[in-house]
């Protein structure tokens, strides 16, 4: 093997190590305060009551059937991890006064920050899967077994897209004084604008257009079609749109990280408010 080939192989290995191992270590370091006594009520029990509340409200109002609310809220429940944890994976570096040492490293910036999304995505998928299981056990949600793999794929795409949105909010935390208020507002607005419990066509036109630019909207719509018996091919347009929106938010997040890093170095203000 030539010297150049060995150098390229070393770069790939270093990228993979920072992306996968570094992302996991960073997640453990930033979220070492999480305990089962906190995680279970917040991430598992809370979404169950959310699904039950809106499903029974839908029954009372006659708006939609149980499947409409189970799919919408099970997918949206992942936003608890995707938005808040995605935000904290970047913003907490500044709050903990570790941003300057982190940016002093020569590590690839994409691997350094985007690798942190993997544990967040895994947590979001766990929450969504739990929501679907509870919807099947407690409500009239019985999608065809043949649709489960396609529904799982849609959930993966949706959670990944939502995590990219959370990373975008977190990147603003490299400059903003309090980004967690923005994360709270964004999280609850997604209930309204992403078709979770209210059909998009029931919203004013300008609000529905905003919702179509947010993650989860097209993934939830695709999930409902698939749970109703449609094939993945027929819902493919919605899935690709969701994937494209997630890629766009990831590109925005990475661009903001690089920009704020450059401005912080130029102004010597990486960890000042």
- Would residue 204 be called left, alpha or beta, if left means φ above 0 and alpha means ψ between -120 and 50 degrees? beta
Note every long-range contact of 182-186, with CB atoms under 8 Å and residues 24 or more positions apart, other chains counting: 183/83, 183/84, 183/87, 186/83
Domain that holds residue 16: 3-267
Question: What average pLDDT does the segment 99-120 reach?
Answer: 85
Reduced DSSP (H G I as helix, E B as strand, rest coil) percent helix, strand, coil of the chain, to 5: 75, 0, 25
**273 falls within a domain:** no
How many domains would you assign to the chain? 1
Q: Tell which wins on pLDDT, 271 or 208.
A: 208
**Residues 108, 90: Cα–Cα separation, whole Å:** 15
Question: What average pLDDT does the segment 195-207 reach?
Answer: 91
Residue 129 reports pLDDT greater than 70: yes
Q: Tell the burial category of 174 from Cβ atoms under 10 Å away from its Cβ (0-12, 13-18, 19+).
A: buried
Q: Which residues contact 74 (CB under 8 A, 6 or more apart)?
A: 47, 51, 128, 131, 132, 135, 155
Q: Tell which wins on pLDDT, 210 or 116.
A: 210
In 3D, which of 204, 244, 202, 195 has the Cα closest to residue 224?
195
Residue 3 reports pLDDT greater than 60: no
C-alpha 243 chain-centroid distance: 12
**77 falls within a domain:** yes
Q: Tell which wins on pLDDT, 211 or 7.
A: 211
Q: What pLDDT shows up at residue 211? A: 94
Report DSSP state, residue 17.
Answer: I
Q: What pLDDT shows up at residue 100? A: 81
pTM of this structure: 0.91
- Would residue 105 be called left, alpha or beta, if left means φ above 0 and alpha means ψ between -120 and 50 degrees? beta
**241 falls within a domain:** yes
**137 falls within a domain:** yes
Q: What pLDDT shows up at residue 243? A: 97
**272 falls within a domain:** no
Question: What average pLDDT does the segment 33-58 reach?
Answer: 90
Q: How many CB atoms lie within 10 A of CB 111?
A: 18
CA 243 vs CA 20, 153, 194, 216, 246: distances in Å:
21, 11, 15, 10, 5
Note every long-range contact of 258-261, with CB atoms under 8 Å and residues 24 or more positions apart, other chains counting: 258/109, 260/171, 260/174, 260/175, 261/103, 261/109, 261/174
**129 falls within a domain:** yes
Residue 23 reports pLDDT greater than 70: yes
**182 falls within a domain:** yes
| Mean of all residue pLDDT scores within the chain | 88
**116 falls within a domain:** yes
**Residues 215, 218: Cα–Cα separation, whole Å:** 7
Question: What average pLDDT does the segment 143-161 reach?
Answer: 95
């Amino acid at each position: 093997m030539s010297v150049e080939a060995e150098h390229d192989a070393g770069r790939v290995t270093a990228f993979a190590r920072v992306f996968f191992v570094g992302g996991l270590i960073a997640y453990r370091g930033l979220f070492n305060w999480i305990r089962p006594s906190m995680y279970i009520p917040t991430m598992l029990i809370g979404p169950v009551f959310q699904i039950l509340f809106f499903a029974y409200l839908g029954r009372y109002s006659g708006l939609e059937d149980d499947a409409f609310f189970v799919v919408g809220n099970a997918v949206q429940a992942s936003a608890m991890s995707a938005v808040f944890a995605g935000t904290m994976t970047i913003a907490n570096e500044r709050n903990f006064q570790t941003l300057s040492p982190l940016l002093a490293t020569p590590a690839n910036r994409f691997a350094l920050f985007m690798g942190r999304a993997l544990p967040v995505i895994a947590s979001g998928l766990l929450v969504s899967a739990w929501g679907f299981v509870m919807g099947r056990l407690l409500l009239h949600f019985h999608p065809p077994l043949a649709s489960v793999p396609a529904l799982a794929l849609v959930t993966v795409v949706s959670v990944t897209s939502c995590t990219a949105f959370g990373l975008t909010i977190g990147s603003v935390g490299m400059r903003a004084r309090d980004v967690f208020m923005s994360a709270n507002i964004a999280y609850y607005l997604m209930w309204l604008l992403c078709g979770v419990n209210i059909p998009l066509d029931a919203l004013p036109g300008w609000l529905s257009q905003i919702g179509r630019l947010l993650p989860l909207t097209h993934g939830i719509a695709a999930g409902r079609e698939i749970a109703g018996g449609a094939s993945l091919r027929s819902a493919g347009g919605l899935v690709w749109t969701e994937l494209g929106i997630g890629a766009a938010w990831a590109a925005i997040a990475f661009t903001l990280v690089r920009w704020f890093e450059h401005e912080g170095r130029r102004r010597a203000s990486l960890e000042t408010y």
